[in-house]
Amino acid sequence: MTSKLPSAKTIFVIAVAVVIALNLYTLVLAYPQTYTPSHGITPSAPILAKDFSAYYMGAWRLWHNPSHIYTSGSLNDGEPVILPHPETYKYLPSFLLLVSPFLSLSYQQALTAFDIVQFLMLPLMAYFIYKILSDKPLAVTFIVILIALFLPLPFPQWGFSPSYYWQWGEGQAKVFITFLLLLSFYLGWRGKPVLSGVAFAFGFFDPRFGLLAIPLFVSYNRKNLKLASASAVVSVLLSNGMLLVSGIGSGFLSMVFSNAVATPLFYYSYIPLVTLSALIAVNFKEEGRAFGLIKTKSRPKNTEKPQKD
């Protein structure tokens, strides 16, 4: 009897599982980094707490001292003590609504839980990409999944992926934003424009990547674009309505023009950046049709009369 060779889908699933396992290794490797205040990626930077400290402190201030969400450093007004100093919050306030449940834990516990929750998003991200690229060759789909789930770039002290090493080590949110944007595309592909718009709105908390994702959002919602767009706009406005509160809006504008504009792209920023760029490249024909740049060829009607038997 001849043994059957594994199917292409079986090999594909095994390969994705290996990628996730390698990412788990990177998470374990980066775990001690979450306890160590350091310069981070930039040696010349001041020693601060991990990037997650900005989200944790921002969420605490949202509910207790909202006018100081975007204030740098510690305030010593009864807020959690994060040594040596917390990072400054630099996103739209909507993201703090998603981070708020982690306030039930201590800072260090919350950072670890935040990393674990994001790691558990990886299989779902792979599934979303697999579905929205179902009309593409499996090899192309796997390359996009490899980029999104691992972004391999071997570096001696940072494992196989410096992007994910620092994503986990700093408690960054780049997996979170990639997950939300992929969820939006998937829901649009499934014909659920309202939910797609809501997911896109919450994934817009870092507008740099939200703006980059617009062509994909339009492409996957092209059949219900008006409804999806309305849902996204309304959700962005409602989830960021606290910007109208005294102190929050002015603090946000001050942060944007003093810090955010000059913020460089660090290793972990390449997770959403390269993932979105890869999807845009793979879907260039669909995006061209969605924006009217490529016309869909219509089949000519058969005008010949059928011959009688």
What is the per-residue pLDDT across 124-153, written as a single tens digit (0 to 9) for each? 999 999 999 999 999 999 999 999 999 877
Domain ranges of the chain: 29-290
Angle at 64 between CA 60 and CA 65, to 5 degrees: 95
Residue 280 pLDDT more than 90?
A: yes
Task: At 94, list the tokens.
Answer: 């909507």
What does the block give as tokens for 299?
């089949």
- Name the least confident of 23-27, 34-38, 95-99, 139-143: 34-38
Radius of gyration of the chain (CA): 22
In this prediction, residue 151 carries a pLDDT of 84
Cβ pair 262, 113 in contact under 8 A: no
- pTM for the whole structure: 0.90
Structure tokens, 37 = 């205040």
**Mean pLDDT of the region 188-210:** 97
For the residues 1-14, what does the mean pLDDT come to? 80
* DSSP string for 200-230: HHHGGGSHHHHHHTHHHHHHHTGGGHHHHHH
Report the alpha-carbon distance of residue 248 to residue 68 in Å, rounded.
Answer: 7
237-249 pLDDT, tens digit each: 999 999 998 889 9
Distinct helix (H) and strand (E) counts, the chain: 14, 0
Neighbours of 191 (CB within 10 A): 11
